[in-house]
Amino acid sequence: MTETDAIVALITLFEREGYARVEPAVLQPADVFVDLSGEDIRRRMFVTQDASGAELCLRPEYTIPVCLQHLHTHGAEPAGYSYGGPVFRMRPGESGEFMQAGLESIGRPDASAADAEILGVALEGLEHLGLTPSPTVKLGDMGLLNALIEALGIPPAARRRVIRAIVSGQGLDSLTDTEGQSQIGHAGLLAAIEGQAPHAAKAFVEDILSIAGIARVGGRSAGEIAERFLARAANRTGLPDESRMVIERYLAISGDPDQAALAIGDLAQATGLDLNAPLRAFEERTGFMAARGLDVERFSFSAAFARNLDYYTGFIFEVQDPRRTDGKPIVGGGRYDGLLQHLGAKAPIAAVGCSFWLDRIVEMPR
């Protein structure tokens, strides 16, 4: 089976399930991806300029372009989309141009059912492609993590830094202040941006650099310099030892979804933290998965599991082929309820989706 064959098979399934095929433009505005996915993605994008000097990039993924197209054609109305085609992103040891297929569910109010459907259709898609043996399914929940950190009363700047440390895979040990005295010379700027929303703080730093006539320093762009200042500002706000211990206890929770729900409930009761709403959503989603015939006991939940994209807000998952030795996923996705508002919607719009790495799927023997 070729990657093109795989796209045809998957799109047939997705359209049957109500996800209409779309094909966003290959050239996309670069700043959108940097603003919403972090400066890390800039180093992996293929960037160019149009005739007016505006920075463009070859489409590094489909989710953001599909969301932009949805806002233009449907606004806040619910719709489901499927796609299949090339994306362009630098990957160590792999081609920078590769084929992806996927689906996005936007605007559905029944979030738990939509989450279960996306995972269910993804696994059915792998069956259509003849994947054997059974894939490994990893689950996480950024909604629970965010609710825990908010319940602990951690200040916004430190909260963002904790989330970034976990999402990047560096862990809480990376929160130790290694900047030392280097912050003293920039104390005024750091104080000015501390506690601001990331987009506002980044824009402020970029404006300061622009006024000073600075475009690049040591090979870093203004956006990358702004990210470093944001990290330093967050570093000025410590994480209390008691909060760190609670977060570490949470991150140690793992098991199948039912086991994890019990452990999270026990932690909430022991610490007196209100996690009722996200825990109910977690348990409801597990129920919808079981109702779809998914064997949830075979799924592995880890509180420490995160996907290295800043826009996820709830349920996340990855599917792996157990024959692969590199640990790279063949399918990955999750819920991103805040993304469309960042892209221009007047209010948050519920959304969840996933993507298939077709090159990793077809290279394995059927």
Binding residue ranges for L-histidine: 61-63, 89, 100, 104, 307, 311-312
- Three-state DSSP state, 317: strand
Please enumerate, by residue number, every residue annotated as part of a binding site. Answer: 61-63, 89, 100, 104, 307, 311-312
CA–CA separation, 307 vs 316, rounded Å?
7
| Of the candidates 54, 51, 29, the residue with the CA atom closest to the CA atom of residue 42 | 29
Compute the 3-state secondary structure of the chain and give helix, strand, coil in percent, each to the nearest 5.
50, 20, 35
> Which residue, among 45, 129, 108, has the nearest Cα to 349 in the 3D structure?
108
Give the Cα separation of 158 and 164 in Å (integer): 10
* Among 288, 352, 355, residue whose Cα is nearest residue 78: 352
Query: Can you tell me the distance from the alpha carbon of 138 to that of 300, in angstroms, rounded to the nearest whole number?
Result: 5
Q: Can you tell me the distance from the alpha carbon of 44 to that of 336, in angstroms, rounded to the nearest whole number?
A: 22
| Residue 101 near residue 10 (C-beta atoms within 8 A) | yes
* Main-chain phi, psi angles of 220, to 5 degrees: -95, 140
